[in-house]
Amino acid sequence: PSVLNGGLGKISPFYWILCVAGAAAIDVIGMGKKGNEGYFPGNFGFDPLGVYPKDEEGQKWMQTAEIKNGRLAMIAITAFAVQEFVSKTGVVDETPIFFKPLGAALHEYANSGYIQ
C-alpha cells in the first residue's frame, strides 16, 4: 500500500491494532529488563544462529552497524514517501523491479526492450 495516495485505507484496522499491540508488548518486555545487568536496548537474548560476537569490540561494531542500518532504512522510507508525494504514484508501481522476483523482473524487462 502506498503511503500518500490512499493505499493504507485498504488495510484492515485489525492489522494495525495487532501491529501496535505487538510493538507495545515488545516495549513493555524491554522496560521490564531495563534494570538487569548486561542489558541494553534491543537485547532480548534471541540469537539462534549465534552471530552476535562474544568479544566487546565485536559487539560494539555490531551495535554500530545495526544503528547505521536502521538510519539508512529511515532515510530510504522517507525518500519513498517523498517520491510518492511528488509523482502521485505508489513506489510499488513506480519501481516494480524491486517488488518482483528477480527472474520475473528480468524476463519482463528483456521482453520489453530494456535489456538486450
Alpha helix locations (H) across 1-116? 13-32, 56-87, 91-94, 102-111
CB 79 within 8 Å of CB 85: no
Average of per-residue pLDDT across 65-72: 95
Average pLDDT, the chain: 84
Integer angstrom CA distances of residue 108 from 13, 59, 91: 35, 43, 18
pLDDT of residue 14: 93
pLDDT of residue 104: 83
More confident residue, 114 or 11: 11
**For the whole model, what pTM was predicted?**
0.61
On the question of pLDDT at 60 being above 90, the answer is yes
Average of per-residue pLDDT across 56-61: 93
pLDDT in tens, 8-20: 777 888 998 999 9
